[in-house]
């Protein structure tokens, strides 16, 4: 009983917004499943991009304002970072993660505004082939 009380105190003392469970998005040629992910303004969102395809893929949210963006790419070639410098790495507000074949990348961010934001794979030709989705962010 005392242990449970101590755990409660620790949880209260850590504070901060609660993070919901990670949402897994599976990438294959040329589609995401599911095609829609959700978030709430001010609450961290975690996306796990699981690449079950034969090609490198990424998950790029277009036009969103976010803070606390942390991306852990997995199994991507060095050209990915330089080819997508404007969408990844050099811009701290970029909401983007990449994963090579058979790998899972992780993206965490906190949306700052509500809305419906397009998601697309920024690997050349993938968006045009239909690798798109949406991120819906609600106010509460």
Domain spanning 23-138: which superfamily?
Cupredoxins -  blue copper proteins (2.60.40.420)
pLDDT tens profile 6-28 = 333 222 233 344 556 899 999 99
Q: What is the DSSP string of 62-97?
A: -S--EEEEEEE-BS--HHHHHHTTTTTTS-TT-EEE
pLDDT tens track for 39-61: 999 999 999 999 999 999 999 99
Question: What mean pLDDT, rounded, does the chain reach?
Answer: 82
Average pLDDT of span 3-7: 35
| Per-residue pLDDT at 94 | 86
Distance from C-alpha of 71 to C-alpha of 108, rounded to nearest angstrom: 6
pTM, two decimals, is 0.78
pLDDT of residue 1 exceeding 50: no
Q: Cα(11)–Cα(14) distance, rounded to whole angstroms?
A: 5
Model confidence pLDDT, tens digit, residues 74-95: 998 756 653 443 344 334 468 9
Q: Where are the domains of the chain?
A: 23-138
């Amino acid at each position: 009983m005392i242990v449970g009380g101590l755990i409660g105190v620790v949880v209260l003392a850590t504070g901060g917004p609660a993070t919901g469970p990670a949402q897994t998005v599976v990438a294959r040629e040329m589609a995401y499943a599911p095609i829609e992910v959700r978030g709430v303004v001010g609450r961290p969102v975690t996306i796990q991009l699981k690449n079950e395809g034969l090609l490198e893929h990424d998950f790029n949210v277009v036009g969103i304002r976010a803070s606390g963006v942390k991306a852990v790419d997995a199994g991507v070639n060095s050209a990915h970072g330089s080819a997508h410098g404007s969408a990844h790495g050099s811009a701290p507000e970029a909401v983007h993660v990449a994963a090579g074949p058979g790998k899972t990348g992780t993206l965490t961010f906190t949306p700052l505004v509500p809305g419906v934001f397009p998601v697309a794979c920024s690997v050349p030709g993938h968006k045009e082939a239909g690798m798109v989705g949406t991120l819906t962010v609600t106010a509460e």
